[in-house]
Amino acid sequence: MSSQSLWIQIPLILGIPLAALFIIPLIKGATAHSAYSNEDAVDIGMDLAVLATGACGSIFANDTLYAKWGIASVVYGSLTTLVCIIFIAWLAMIRRWHNTAPVSNGQAMFHVLIGAIPLGLVTAILIMSYPFGARR
């Protein structure tokens, strides 16, 4: 896997969380009981973090990651899952005690950022495993 393919993968891997970011509010907004607003950003962040937690299992079963790290990829997978859960807990705390209206655009971006960090971490591990990983 050459580093040239990395520059093809980065827009793709950035695009998937971005697509999720737009699809989740459309689904939730279409079915929300109350007016959809910045207060729901923390829910979007939690959904992104849960998405990252779910992606950990499939990503750490990747052959390229296993060739690079061997059995240690199981440990890294478990640690990444724990990190994702910590971010979910942080967002749950925000939703319970710090999500009082009105929530500004900056706060909404911060709430989504907290949820997007685990997703970015998982995608970054996948990206970084390719250019410096096992050469076939």
CB of 92 to other proteins, least distance (A): 18
CB of 8 to other proteins, least distance (A): 15
Nearest by Cα to 66 from 58, 16, 8: 58
Positions that interact with other proteins (CB under 8 A): 13-14, 17-18, 21-22, 24-26, 28-38, 40-41, 44, 48, 105, 108-113, 116-117, 119-125, 127-128, 132
Backbone angles phi, psi at 60, to 5 degrees: -85, 5
CB of 30 to other proteins, least distance (A): 5
Cis ω for the linkage preceding 131 (within 30 of 0): no
Cis ω for the linkage preceding 17 (within 30 of 0): no
Comparing CB distances to other proteins, the nearer of 88 and 112 is: 112
